[in-house]
Structure 1
């Protein structure tokens, strides 16, 4: 049996400890990003890929996009620090912020998110305004969607239309693109969704605007943002924020990222921007 001297044994133990620490440190140098699943998984992955590559260069660490199954899961993984950054809608940010006791921080938002809108679409020629939705089958997106449910519901209530009492049926498609498909196929007579998804479908000729049209566009409100947990080291948070704010359409890399994010540019965000959404959620009994 081979015997090691005390000094060699100590040296071996220290070497093992350093190797283990090094492996753990390397394992921890993965920056995880997720997003609410407001579009198909393939579209979310396509949108994330250039951003992931860009952040890897700026943060000098491996970045991974981690998809989640639903909106609630996106909230949970950031609250529990299973991911480092999440793309939230205004309502999911409010949910995460409230549930974490204010420990979720909105870092940046797109310039477009300062004045975001939803659209109501239909294939029914008799529907010309919100009041015409009474007695109809109408689809929202996810129940936790800001632009696909909460704010459209809020504007309906302001127009004296109560979805739960006045619609023949309330459906939840789960995602904006699914809402378009439900209206186009005739499963429902109308639907509400994110204006940028609608505009993208129109631009890409993925919807026949001779059959499906917008009949109401909501007033503006604050929406999406990139959020992080307050426990993220300040230095990393500042580095991340600077990287996102530095994205510019003047570079090929920046243009690719911003185009896929449907953004002109990113601007700083703050929790107070979403007080109106929180009030709408509480008023609608959704928070």
Structure 2
């Protein structure tokens, strides 16, 4: 009986019915609509599967918090985080590391946008006249759509956004922020500059109805973060292979879906400015 079981297992391995290693699973913060995310990251899954020679699966999540939870619970082993979500995740999972970031990510920025009815134009600082208007952030856990915009609002006005504006909302993602301000549902919003620039280039924004009125100083943002226990689960050297695969990703089609020019090394220390700001305004214990 024992020999028969061994033969069955060997046959299953040969036919692919059993994987020699567990499926490598990754996710990404839902900073855009789900359809676009799936298109972006299925291509990345295919690329990683080819590079790593193991089963790779992308799993979408519904919120920034869910991304962090999935990483903490080892439901995913790799995640494309924003600055704040990455800091939170790494504090919950000892040994986890930021390993790669886009060429643009050390110098990221947010745009503040306004509906044309406000009469606001581009300025070098946030105009005092935005006080009393309506305003939407992106996700509550977004670095570019919430953390850094709130930090600069507090610096400018010395008050929380709820005291600066007549109404404050959270759109859930950057694409939705554009739509809400363009429609006039909110007079102002803040978002990831990359999402805005890509949407304008694709002709998806009516710039006669909504425009950029201010951009923040730069800060570190998106990054790939890996759990620290990968070699134990997938074999010695697997962590280094994943890191190498991310850093050498150079297919223009893959890069344009982020969009990034390429990827460069990252470390946990690179995101210390984000951690300090998050603690300062109460978004991190």
Name the CA distance, whole Å, in 1 between partners of 2:18 and 2:281.
46
Q: Could you tell which deviates more after superposition, 213-222 or 226-235?
A: 226-235
Aligned residue for 1:148? 145
Contact 1:126 1:132 in 2 (8 A): no
Distance change (3 Å), C-alpha of 1:281 and 1:130: farther
Aligned residue for 1:240? 242
Name the CA distance, whole Å, in 1 between partners of 2:27 and 2:253.
19
Q: Which runs of 4+ in 1 moved over 3 A?
A: 13-25, 124-130
Aligned residue for 1:6? none
CA shift, 1:236, in A, is 1.2
1:3-37 Cα distance to aligned partner (Å, 9 max, x none): xxxxxx34224435656888785174422110011
Name the CA distance, whole Å, in 1 between partners of 2:77 and 2:221.
20
2:98 to 97, 106, 111: 106
Contact 2:182 2:209 in 1 (8 A): yes
CA shift, 1:110, in A, is 0.1
Task: Tell me the number of residue pairs that the alignment of Structure 1 and Structure 2 aligns.
Answer: 273
In structure 1, list runs of 5 or more residues that go unmatched. 1-8, 249-253
Name the CA distance, whole Å, in 2 between partners of 1:174 and 1:40.
9
Name the CA distance, whole Å, in 1 between partners of 2:228 and 2:2.
40
2:211 to 206, 210, 213: 213
Name the CA distance, whole Å, in 2 between partners of 1:27 and 1:185.
52
**Secondary structure class of the residue paired with 1:208:** coil
In structure 2, list runs of 5 or more residues that go unmatched. none
Q: CA RMSD in A?
A: 1.9
Name the CA distance, whole Å, in 1 between partners of 2:29 and 2:20.
25
Contact 1:130 1:156 in 2 (8 A): no
CA shift, 1:170, in A, is 0.8
Q: Could you tell which deviates more after superposition, 237-246 or 197-206?
A: 237-246
1:105-133 Cα distance to aligned partner (Å, 9 max, x none): 11100011010000000013333534222
Name the CA distance, whole Å, in 2 between partners of 1:193 and 1:152.
8
Contact 2:157 2:164 in 1 (8 A): no
Name the CA distance, whole Å, in 1 between partners of 2:113 and 2:162.
19
Aligned residue for 2:187? 189
1:135-185 Cα distance to aligned partner (Å, 9 max, x none): 111000000000000001011111125302111011000000000001011
Q: Does 1:177 align with 2:136?
A: no
Aligned residue for 2:88? 95
Larger Rg: 1
Distance change (3 Å), C-alpha of 1:269 and 1:131: same
**Secondary structure class of the residue paired with 1:159:** helix
Q: Does 1:44 align with 2:37?
A: yes
Aligned residue for 1:11? 3
TM-score (structure 1 length as normaliser): 0.90
CA shift, 1:261, in A, is 1.4
